[in-house]
Amino acid sequence: MVLRASLKQKSQVRKRKPALLKSWEALLRTVSKLSLGWQMSIPITVAIVGLWSYAAVAQTPPTLESVSTTTTDLKVGLDTMWVMVAGFLVFFMNAGFGMLETGMCRQKNAVNILAKNLIVFALSTAAYWAIGFGLMFSNGNGWLGASGGFFLTGADNSPATGDAYQGIFSAISWAGVPLAAKFFFQLVFAGTAATIVSGAVAERIKFIDFLLFSLLLVGIAYPITGHWIWGGGWLATLGFYDFAGSTVVHSVGGWAALMGAAFLGARIGKYNADGSANAIPPHNLSIATLGALILWLGWFGFNPGSTMGIGNGSLIAHIALTTNTGGAFGAIAATVVAWAILGKPDLTMTINGLLAGLVAVTAPCAWISVPSSAIIGAIGGILVVFAVGFFDKLKIDDPVGAIAVHLVNGVWGTLALGLFSQADAFGATPAPKAGLLFGGGIEQFWYQLVGVLSVGGFTVLVSSIFWILLKSTLGIRVTSEEELEGLDISEHGMEAYAGFAKESAFGSSSSYPSSSSEPTKY
């Protein structure tokens, strides 16, 4: 009986095999009817499903330590990305400065101004990498960094922060990003300070002298005063605050520009015997306006980027808003005041009013309210209109108004912090004391005043030494013939607008009659 049952079972299996075989053959016939692409996708799909299944089975459950490490790495990555993107925006401001300065000056000097604005960042990179960053941020005393750090060398375990940090750049160890990101962000700020000088000395300085002065400024003068404030130096210890550089960047560049313009003297034909000033018209307000808009955009990297971290994003948004409001009200105020004084709205004053408001709000942007930023920006816009005329009375010839914008409003913005600060009300720490107008007394304003005077005095002294050395050795000014011909030809042997009509002495095209027989006076 057992044998019969076994034979019966084998017979049933034999009967089932043809059915399975038929199903397999049917599947093969179906697959063979598919296109080649679909046929190739079948084994790939099987492999992917198999690997996913294996990964799901083989994956080990996360531990608290691995989750913490992943979270830390993610934070560092996001902060680094933010700092680098902000740095790229500030770097792009070089294009803004180049367009603005070129448009504000005469056509015969366009190549020269563009060349200066291009090469100055390359020189700044070399000088700041070789010596500047080390002087500014390496551990030292209250006056300068003295632990090396030249060529970005030395002990450093960034992005570690606080007590976990071990290295020679303790002053900037609060930023939880790699050292390379810290350096790049500070580099673009240093380059900005050198670019400010370019506009004030335009149209009559020798190209080689500007290059050498830029190296000295970025390699020596800028890092020393920067160390006092951002490098943990004596002003930082005193209680002086400058969030994004009204003093560190803009005033330093402005003081250096002032001394350069003073040592160079005015352009030929700028001033009359009675001391009145002749307006030398800009040759291209289109690219000047484009430059101003690029700078406005770049300021959203300049100020919000100085957080050097994302946090929950609220501080970045607040700083962006105060920055924009300051610039906007600066432009409005300058337009209104210039309209009232000159009888017509002056585009060049609107541009400089915008920049004045942005410069003024740079120091206090993290510690002031939006209404306060509007007031600070508006005052900056008013100041720049009168500052242009003031420097002309002193016969300080500044073709683009860089001194009125960066020096005057760098000083104003720094002092404004002592008036309008609301301490850490908006989440920025460490924070200054509350300002005079918000119940904090005069203490913070006093700290700000000391900082303005000390940085200004040092920069005037050192930049004067640099200018005197250059003047006594190489000579800093081109000849009268070269100036009248234009620096494009005399310094570079090329023209920006080859084949176009040439300019007269005051910048108007010789192919068209001037609207006035006399140069404009103001």
d(CA 433, CA 438): 10
Q: Amino acid identity of 183?
A: F
In this structure, what DSSP letter does residue 59 have?
A: P
d(CA 15, CA 18): 6
Query: Is residue 91 situated within a structural domain?
Result: yes
| pTM, two decimal places | 0.85
Name the maximum alpha-carbon separation found in the chain.
137
Query: Is residue 17 situated within a structural domain?
Result: no
Check which CATH number belongs to the domain holding 87 and give it.
Answer: 1.10.3430.10
Q: Find out whether 497 and 110 touch, Cβ atoms under 8 Å.
A: yes
251: Cβ contacts below 8 Å, ≥ 6 apart: 406, 407, 410, 411, 414, 452, 455, 456, 459
**pLDDT tens string 329-353:** 999 999 999 999 999 999 999 999 9
Residue with tokens 């599947």: 27
Q: What is the pLDDT of residue 519?
A: 34
Report long-range pairs for 113-116 (Cβ below 8 Å, ≥24 apart).
Answer: 113/198, 113/202, 114/496, 115/207, 115/492, 116/198, 116/202, 116/207, 116/210
**pLDDT tens string 145-175:** 999 999 999 999 999 998 999 999 999 999 9
Query: Is residue 490 situated within a structural domain?
Result: no
Q: Find out whether 281 and 267 touch, Cβ atoms under 8 Å.
A: no
Q: Find out whether 287 and 99 touch, Cβ atoms under 8 Å.
A: yes
Q: Find out whether 348 and 359 touch, Cβ atoms under 8 Å.
A: no
Looking at 25-34, 99-108, 409-418, which range is the least confident one? 25-34
Q: What is the pLDDT of residue 511?
A: 33
Q: What is the pLDDT of residue 62?
A: 72
Taking 60 as the threshold, does the pLDDT of residue 516 lie above it? Answer: no
Q: Residue 316 is part of which domain span? A: 68-484
Residue 155's CB: how many other CB atoms inside 10 A?
12
Total domain count, the chain: 1
Sign of the Cα torsion 49, 51, 54, 58 reads negative
Name the strand (E) or helix (H) holding 249: none
Please name which of 292, 291, 299 lies closest in space to residue 322, comparing C-alpha atoms. 299
d(CA 371, CA 268): 44
Band the pLDDT of 249: cuts 50, 70, 90. very high
Query: Is residue 343 situated within a structural domain?
Result: yes
Query: Is residue 496 situated within a structural domain?
Result: no
- Bridge partners for 509 per DSSP: 503
**pLDDT tens string 37-65:** 666 666 666 666 665 655 544 456 777 77
- The average pLDDT across 1-22 equals 52
- The average pLDDT across 116-132 equals 97
Residues shown for the chain? 522
Q: What is the pLDDT of residue 67?
A: 72
Residue 484's CB: how many other CB atoms inside 10 A?
14
Sign of the Cα torsion 496, 499, 500, 505 reads positive
**pLDDT tens string 451-482:** 999 999 999 999 999 999 999 999 999 999 99
d(CA 233, CA 213): 25
Residue with tokens 């042997």: 493
Taking 90 as the threshold, does the pLDDT of residue 81 lie above it? Answer: yes
Band the pLDDT of 294: cuts 50, 70, 90. very high
- Tokens coding 472: 């006594």
- The average pLDDT across 115-129 equals 97
Query: Is residue 22 situated within a structural domain?
Result: no
Query: Is residue 93 situated within a structural domain?
Result: yes
- Tokens coding 2: 């057992």
Burial annotation 288-318 (CB, 10 A radius, 16+ → b, else e): bbbbbebbbebbbbbbbbbbbbeeeeebbeb
Report long-range pairs for 11-17 (Cβ below 8 Å, ≥24 apart).
Answer: none
**pLDDT tens string 474-503:** 999 999 999 999 999 999 999 998 877 666
d(CA 453, CA 466): 20
**pLDDT tens string 414-455:** 999 999 999 999 999 999 999 999 999 999 999 999 999 999
Name the strand (E) or helix (H) holding 211: helix 207-216
d(CA 143, CA 337): 42
Query: Is residue 111 situated within a structural domain?
Result: yes
